[in-house]
Structures are given as C-alpha cells and as structure tokens.
C-alpha cells in the first residue's frame, strides 16, 4: 500500500532550486536509505516529507495517513543531550500529538511507551535522568520517543552519528526489526553508507538531480554508488 508520493516535485529556497522535478513513492514496509554529499539536498528532502517545506512545483501526497502519524528522529544536539527530564518523560512526550488539548497521557499511551522501551531494551532506565545516561542509551530513548509518534512512517536523520561501530551495528539491527515486525516504513538519511544499506530495500542518491533506485542491488551497480565511495 502506497503511503506517500512525490510527483514532479521541485523544492527551492528563494531563487535557488535544491531538488527539481523529482518523483518517488513510499509504500508500507519500505526501508528507504537517503545518501549523498553534504549540501546535496537531504535535509530539504526530509523537510518536504515532514510537511515543513511546501513544494515550489509538483505535489507531495500522503495516502491513507496523516502527518501526525509520521515519527521523526532528528540529529541529536547538545541541547538534547542535557535535557533535564527522566527517560520515561522523554519517551512519553512522543505521544503529545495525540493528546490535543488534554493535559495528561492515557493508559494506552503509557503502555505504548513501556512497550517501546522494552523493544529498545531501555525499560530499566525508565526513571533515570536522560542527561546522565550514555550517548548510545540516549539515542535509544529518542528512538523510542519517535516510535510513540510513528504509526506508519519513521524518519531518521543520521541516527548513528557519534556512536561507535559496535553500538551503531546494534542500532541498525533494531531499526530493521522495527521495519519488519511493526511494518513501519523507514526513511533514513545516513553517511554511513555500507551498514545503512544492509537493511534497506530502496535508495535515493541526492545529487544535482536526485536518483531514486527501487532496489539496493541496482544502486550498488550504479556509477553514483561507485563514485560516492571513491571508486571512480
């Protein structure tokens, strides 16, 4: 089932075109990896997905879902690292879009937060201060928070930046399990191209004109892939 469509989309800042005449589809269960050099338009593409950047031309359509059903894990900042709240409070805050004018969380939302903490192996940290736990643990907490918002799509912006290779490997495995077991479509931006591609089934390579590869295999055979890895 198709969840989201880009139809001949052009995204611009002022008179500068960043992405031009780009089309793609994202379906339930897809795992899309977005790669490319710095400044190639990856962040602009994510803003289009999140409804934060309307297209200058073309159409971005949500099919069978609402914007609030999309979970988002942004790049971690120093402000996030030192946020003065408990792990439980951080994870539960992912449900805020559902709360509307209500000032409290429902039993279902509290149970969902616990379920996502269990999934990511951080339930024992529930009452810990977020700023006192390790960087890898913090990233799992923020992913659990994003999962509380994600119903059909989860968007991840450099989720393993700053993590060591061992923790990164575990993190990619967790993301793939979420994709398979929860049937949530994944859109992940990453510079860590080889391990990132190991779980993906489709790729967007950002360059002057973005290229959408419907399979990872086709991308690995492409000139774009070989050049990006320095082989051409």
Whole-angstrom distance, CA of residue 29 vs CA of residue 14: 35
**198 and 222 part of one domain:** yes
Strands 2-13 and 57-62: antiparallel
**163 and 208 part of one domain:** yes
H helices of the chain, in order, are 42-49, 78-81, 87-92, 96-99, 107-119, 135-149, 165-181, 193-197, 216-220, 223-228
**25 and 138 part of one domain:** no
Name which of 30-44, 68-82, 120-134 the model is least confident about. Answer: 68-82
19 pLDDT above the threshold of 60: yes
The pLDDT tens digits for 148-195 are: 999 899 999 988 887 888 888 888 999 999 999 989 999 999 888 888
Whole-angstrom distance, CA of residue 225 vs CA of residue 232: 9
**157 and 146 part of one domain:** no
Both tokens of 159, joined, read: 């989720």
Whole-angstrom distance, CA of residue 135 vs CA of residue 132: 9
Number of domains the chain contains:
2
Q: Is 224 a domain residue?
A: yes
Choosing from 124, 151, 178, the residue where a domain stops is 151
Q: Is 72 a domain residue?
A: no
Q: Is 71 a domain residue?
A: no
**81 and 196 part of one domain:** no
Backbone angles phi, psi at 71, to 5 degrees: -90, 150
Are 24 and 6 within 8 A, CB to CB? Answer: yes
The pLDDT tens digits for 48-67 are: 999 999 999 999 999 978 88
Choosing from 151, 169, 191, the residue where a domain stops is 151
Using pLDDT thresholds of 50, 70 and 90, give the confidence band for residue 71.
very high
Choosing from 93, 123, 151, the residue where a domain stops is 151
Residue whose C-alpha is closest to residue 129's, from 84, 93, 177: 84
Domain that holds residue 206: 1-65+152-232
Dihedral sign from CA coordinates of 104, 106, 112, 118: positive
**214 and 179 part of one domain:** yes
In CATH, what number is assigned to the domain containing residue 8?
Answer: 3.40.50.300
Using pLDDT thresholds of 50, 70 and 90, give the confidence band for residue 102.
low
Bigger pLDDT: 39 or 188? 188
* Beta-bridge partners for 213: 203
**140 and 158 part of one domain:** no
Using pLDDT thresholds of 50, 70 and 90, give the confidence band for residue 232.
very low
């Amino acid at each position: 089932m198709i969840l989201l469509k880009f139809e001949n989309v052009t995204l611009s800042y002022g008179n500068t075109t960043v992405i031009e005449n780009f089309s793609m589809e994202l379906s339930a269960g897809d795992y899309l990896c977005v790669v490319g050099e710095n400044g190639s338009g990856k962040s602009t593409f994510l803003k289009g997905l999140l409804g934060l950047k309307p297209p200058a031309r073309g159409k971005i359509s949500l099919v069978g879902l609402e914007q609030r059903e999309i979970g988002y894990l942004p790049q971690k900042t120093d402000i996030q690292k030192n946020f003065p709240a408990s792990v439980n409070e951080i994870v539960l805050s992912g449900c805020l879009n559902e709360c509307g004018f209500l000032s409290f969380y429902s039993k279902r939302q509290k149970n969902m937060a616990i379920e996502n903490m269990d999934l990511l192996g951080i339930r024992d940290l529930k009452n810990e201060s977020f700023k006192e736990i390790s960087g890898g643990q913090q990233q799992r907490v923020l992913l659990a928070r994003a999962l509380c918002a994600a119903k059909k799509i989860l968007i991840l912006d450099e989720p393993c930046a700053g993590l060591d290779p061992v923790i990164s490997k575990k993190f990619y495995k967790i993301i793939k399990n979420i994709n398979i077991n929860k049937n949530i479509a994944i859109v992940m931006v990453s510079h860590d191209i080889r391990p990132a591609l190991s779980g993906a089934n489709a790729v967007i390579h950002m360059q002057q004109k973005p290229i959408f590869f419907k399979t990872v295999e086709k991308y690995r055979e492409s000139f774009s892939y070989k050049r990006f890895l320095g082989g051409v």
